[in-house]
Amino acid sequence: MRDNFTQKEYCFTLEHITKIVFNEKYKDISTMILDENIVLTEYKEKEEYSKPNPSVNVYIALFTTAHARLKLYELLDILQERVLYMDTDSCIYNDDGSEACKKVENMMGSKLGDLTDEIVSKHNANHIKQFISAGPKDYSMKLDTEKLVSCCKGF
C-alpha cells in the first residue's frame, strides 16, 4: 500500500537538519538550500519503522479514483479541442460560449460529483486572461482581476 510518502520539512537551524539527516529511521534523504536561512529536507521512513494505516480501505480509494477519472473523461469528451490543460483532478478550457461549454456549466455545483469553478470559488475572479503550462501541475495564469496564480509541483 502507498502510505509511506516522501516527507518534506523546512529547516531553519543546523540542529533541525542534523536531526533529520542522521536519523536511522529515514532513507532517501535529500536537502536543498533555498536561501541563507532555509533548507528544504525530504525523506522517507524505512519500511521497518513505517506503520501501515489501519483505516485505509483500498476498495473505496480505487472506486473513488476510477469514478473521478470517468468524470474527467466525460468532461474531455464534451469539450474536445477547447481543452487547454488537464491533470488528474482539473481541466482548464476555452469557454467560447458554445453548447458544449453551456453543458459543462450545468455540471457545476456544490454536491459530491459536481464540478467546481475554482477561478470563482478560490480566486474571486471570473475568467483567465492569460495561461501558460510547462506540463502537469506546472502552470501560471493571469486572472481578470490581474491576480497571478502559479502552480509548480513540489513547491
97-149 tens-digit pLDDT = 999 999 999 998 888 888 888 888 888 999 999 999 988 888 999 999 999 99
- pLDDT range class, residue 155, cuts 50, 70, 90: low
Cβ atoms of 31 and 21 within 8 Å: the answer is yes
Helices (DSSP H) in 3-146: which residue ranges? 14-21, 58-79, 99-106, 118-121
Q: Measured between alpha carbons, how far is 57 from 104 in angstroms, rounded to an integer?
A: 32
Phi, psi of 38 (to 5 degrees): -130, 130
Q: What is the pTM of this model?
A: 0.61
- Give the CA angle between residues 92, 94, 98 to the nearest 5°: 125
Q: Measured between alpha carbons, how far is 30 from 44 in angstroms, rounded to an integer?
A: 10
- What confidence score (pLDDT) does residue 131 get? 93
Q: Measured between alpha carbons, how far is 126 from 17 in angstroms, rounded to an integer?
A: 44
Cα separations in angstroms, 75 against 23, 91, 123, 142: 47, 8, 22, 23
Host H or E run for residue 84: strand 83-87
- The pLDDT tens digits of the residues spanning 33-78 come to 999 999 999 999 998 888 877 788 889 989 988 998 999 999 999 9
- What confidence score (pLDDT) does residue 2 get? 62
- What confidence score (pLDDT) does residue 113 get? 81
